[in-house]
Structure 1
Amino acid sequence: MEPVRVTIWNEFIHERTDPKIASVYPHGIHHTIAQGIAEYGFQIRTATLEEQDHGLSEKVLNSTDVLIWWGHLAHDQVSEEVVTRIQRRVLQGMGLIVLHSGHRSKIFQRLMGTTCDLKWREDAKRELLWVVNPAHPITQGIGEYIDLKPEEMYGEFFDIPAPEELIFISWFEGGEVFRSGCTYTRGLGKIFYFRPGHEAYPTYYHKQVLRVIANSVRWVASAHGAAPTFGNSAPFVTF
């Protein structure tokens, strides 16, 4: 079996402009995730905002089975042409994993059809991500929960469509809860939103977080159903 071809996209701004964040992710969040999931045997490339076509040309996307997306400061700088290109590939069957503040990315908002807004607070306290779907492949090897500290708080209401499958629910020290692991299908493409990953905290070095990302890569890349036929069609049977 050919390895899953993964492209990890990161706007790569915080790490180049904020010394505190650079100390946590000196080579960028994309590089840290790539190193962290390399042991799972994927074929990995990275792409960033400032590259031509944001590193997401037709050629790159056509050779990508799974796109992982991290963005925060520059959602508005992502070109509509590239967003449309990604959307088309998702509908054709490319998997999409949206991490943390990528909930406000153009591509996630377009695929969800909502604002994808939420409550937040940067208080660097504890988050417990509880597994609420232990039969799902994304939770393989995780245990009952993931314990993270420090992390940023995200709270309900989270303005997304009802998830097709809810995988994780987070609890925060301030009392908030949040739907932190949500799956969707759009066309032939599978989508997973995963909440943890504030840029100032070392979340993407955490073994369980990396295991969830690796598991979700395999899940969104897994086999799809039959491709649909659209448009004018001759009858199957004549009488």
Structure 2
Amino acid sequence: MSEPAVTIWNEFRHEREDDDVAAVYPDGIQTTIADAFDSHSYEVRTATLDEPEHGLTAEVLEETDVLLWWGHRAHDEVSDAVVDRVHERVLEGMGLLVLHSGHYAKVFKRLMGTSCSLQYREDGNTERLWIVDPGHPIADGLKESIELPETEMYGEPFDVPEPDRLVFVSWFEGGEVFRSGCCYRRGNGRIFYFRPGHETYPIYEDDAVRRVLRNAVDWASPTEGAPRTFGERE
């Protein structure tokens, strides 16, 4: 079996407009995430909001096994036609990893059928992600928790459907907890929401976070499965 073809999508706005973000991710969050797959046998490409069709043409998506999505300030600028295209590909079997503030992405809200709202606080304090499903493939090779010394707090309630499997629960210094690693299936596609990744902290350089991303891509990659047929039968 060939290694997964991965497309990493990012708005790429903060890095070009905010000096504090550019200092952390000078070449864009998408490039730093791509580095997590460098030296491993993945086919990786990146795409950004301001490219034609947001870099997510029908041809690109057809060649993508797993799509990683990072968005924050420009969710409303994503074309509904592209959202339709991504949504359809997920139902067909393409994996989708939704990262950090991508919880408000149009396509994630459509797939969840909820507001995907939550509580948050930008305080730069510690987060500890506890593995609550150690037998899940996404947790492979990790210790019992991941500690991030500086991050943004996300807190419950998190308005998403009950996950099929919950891999991580986060604890924050303020006492909040959050479901930080949520697995879903929609149609033939596997979806993983992973909370860490605020734009002003170098979270995507963390080795454990990078391991999670690779594990999640492997888990979300399409599988053959049994054929599905619909419509009238004789």
Letter in 2 for 1:197: G
For residue 146 of structure 1, what is the aligned residue in structure 2? Answer: 146
For residue 206 of structure 2, what is the aligned residue in structure 1? Answer: 206
Per-residue CA deviations over 1:25-68 (Å, capped at 9, x if unaligned) read 00000000001222221100000000000000000000000000
Task: Supply the distance in 2 between the matched residues of 1:227 and 1:199 (Cα, whole angstroms).
Answer: 41
For residue 89 of structure 2, what is the aligned residue in structure 1? Answer: 89
Q: Percent of aligned pairs with the same residue?
A: 58
1:70 Cα offset (Å):
0.2
For residue 221 of structure 1, what is the aligned residue in structure 2? Answer: 221
Per-residue CA deviations over 1:59-106 (Å, capped at 9, x if unaligned) read 000000000000000000000000000000000000000000000000
Q: Any runs of at least 4 consecutive aligned residues in structure 1 with deviations exceeding 6 A, and if so which?
A: none
CA RMSD in angstroms comes to 0.7
Task: Supply the distance in 2 between the matched residues of 1:125 and 1:113 (Cα, whole angstroms).
Answer: 31
For residue 28 of structure 1, what is the aligned residue in structure 2? Answer: 28
For residue 180 of structure 1, what is the aligned residue in structure 2? Answer: 180
Task: Please say if residues 97 and 216 of structure 1, whose CA atoms lie closer than 8 Å, have aligned partners that are also in contact.
Answer: yes
1:3 Cα offset (Å):
2.0
In structure 2, runs of 5+ residues without a counterpart are none
1:227 Cα offset (Å):
2.9
Letter in 2 for 1:165: R
1:228 Cα offset (Å):
1.4
Task: Please say if residues 131 and 168 of structure 1, whose CA atoms lie closer than 8 Å, have aligned partners that are also in contact.
Answer: yes
For residue 77 of structure 2, what is the aligned residue in structure 1? Answer: 77
- 3-state SS in 1 of match to 2:212: helix
For residue 192 of structure 2, what is the aligned residue in structure 1? Answer: 192
For residue 49 of structure 1, what is the aligned residue in structure 2? Answer: 49
Task: Supply the distance in 2 between the matched residues of 1:182 and 1:224 (Cα, whole angstroms).
Answer: 23
1:222 Cα offset (Å):
4.7
Task: Please say if residues 65 and 222 of structure 2, whose CA atoms lie closer than 8 Å, have aligned partners that are also in contact.
Answer: no
Task: Please say if residues 61 and 89 of structure 1, whose CA atoms lie closer than 8 Å, have aligned partners that are also in contact.
Answer: yes
Task: Please say if residues 168 and 181 of structure 2, whose CA atoms lie closer than 8 Å, have aligned partners that are also in contact.
Answer: yes
Per-residue CA deviations over 1:105-134 (Å, capped at 9, x if unaligned) read 001000000000000000000000000000
What is the TM-score of this pair, normalised by structure 1? 0.97
- 3-state SS in 1 of match to 2:90: helix
Per-residue CA deviations over 1:153-175 (Å, capped at 9, x if unaligned) read 00000000000000000000000
Task: Supply the distance in 1 between the matched residues of 2:27 and 2:226 (Cα, whole angstroms).
Answer: 40
Letter in 2 for 1:223: T
For residue 119 of structure 2, what is the aligned residue in structure 1? Answer: 119
Letter in 2 for 1:19: D
Task: Please say if residues 93 and 222 of structure 2, whose CA atoms lie closer than 8 Å, have aligned partners that are also in contact.
Answer: no
For residue 19 of structure 1, what is the aligned residue in structure 2? Answer: 19
1:226 Cα offset (Å):
1.6
Name which one, 1 or 2, has greater alpha-carbon Rg: 1
Letter in 2 for 1:227: P
Task: Supply the distance in 2 between the matched residues of 1:138 and 1:89 (Cα, whole angstroms).
Answer: 22
Q: 1:58-69 maps to which residues of 2 (within 5 A)?
A: 58-69=58-69
- 3-state SS in 2 of match to 1:191: strand
Task: Supply the distance in 1 between the matched residues of 2:226 and 2:171 (Cα, whole angstroms).
Answer: 39
Deviates more, 1:39-48 or 1:220-229: 220-229
Task: Please say if residues 8 and 46 of structure 1, whose CA atoms lie closer than 8 Å, have aligned partners that are also in contact.
Answer: yes
Task: Please say if residues 189 and 222 of structure 2, whose CA atoms lie closer than 8 Å, have aligned partners that are also in contact.
Answer: no
Task: Please say if residues 188 and 224 of structure 1, whose CA atoms lie closer than 8 Å, have aligned partners that are also in contact.
Answer: no
What is the TM-score of this pair, normalised by structure 2? 0.99
Letter in 2 for 1:4: P
Task: Please say if residues 93 and 224 of structure 1, whose CA atoms lie closer than 8 Å, have aligned partners that are also in contact.
Answer: no
In structure 1, runs of 5+ residues without a counterpart are 235-239
